[in-house]
Amino acid sequence: MNRTVVITGTTSGFGRDSVRLFASQGWNVVATVRKETDLALHNDLPNVKTLLLDVNDEGADAAFAEQAAARFGSIDALVNNAGYYHMGPVEAASMEQIHDQFQTNVFGLMALTKAFLPHFRKQRSGVIVNISSISADQGYPYTAVYAASKAAVAAFSEGLNVEMADFGVSVKAVFPGAHATRIFTKIDQAGDIPEDYQSGMQRFFSMQGTGSSPAVTAKAIYQAVTDGKIEKVRYYTGPDGVAVPRVKQLLGADWYWEEFRNASTGNPSDLWKSLVTQGKEPVEFAL
């Protein structure tokens, strides 16, 4: 019997590539989209059923979990991919934007996870994969709210991993680095940014590259679901996603922070340049 995965946020990027990867490996896939106009997005894949879901609608989650399970008889994995990206100085962010960032990336994710936990607990198996970010390991300027939401996802995943261990359920987090996905074209930018911030923002974002293909992270998601390592929580992906924890381990947290802060304020040391440069191509330390 084919296994079944639920993947949220599948119109583009990690979500869409994950749908296609799992389907190509013989999995049944329940893919979610927010708009009715996107319901036909995966029609070329016979083992994919596309359902409407707004992850911010917490009241709909229990019914959705039952609906998803009914499609193929059971659920073996849940991939919480849906999210969005708020950017700008904290001073310029509205509290509505801050609440919206946490509602989608944290509270919506938690609510949907809660809806599936009884299914996994009763069947004594299952994998939950939450999409965090490399910025959860190291807060980045001008994306502090986004990074904080992804740090919450990381901590939630680690705690729940232990909590569900007695039931054979594994909870994991994927930490992508910079990737060329549409999330960066759907930025919720802070408004009325004071001119004082412009030079710092330009300096920091000029350090970033376009990133690697979302297919790289889709492969990491598939690995997290299928590798059988119930105790493993963290999966890093992308050149910068892999590099950041290694450099932090090499330098130690305090020294790493000093180097990162100096580089982000326009004063990178020779050591930092050597650590983040491979040949002539920089390793992208990004979101």
Catalytic residues, which ones? Answer: 132, 146, 150
Which residues pair with residue 79 across a beta bridge?
7, 129
Beta partners for residue 281, in sequence order: 278
Q: Is the dihedral of CA 280, 206, 218, 114 positive or negative?
A: positive
Residue 287 makes CB contacts below 8 A (sequence gap 6+) with: 85, 133, 134, 135, 140, 143, 146, 147, 177, 178, 208
Q: Between helices 61-72 and 108-123, what is the axis angle to 10°?
A: 40
CA distance 117 to 80: 13
Q: Could you tell me which of 86, 93, 266 has the C-alpha nearest to residue 194?
A: 93
Do you know the residue count of the chain? Answer: 287
CA 199 to chain centre: 28
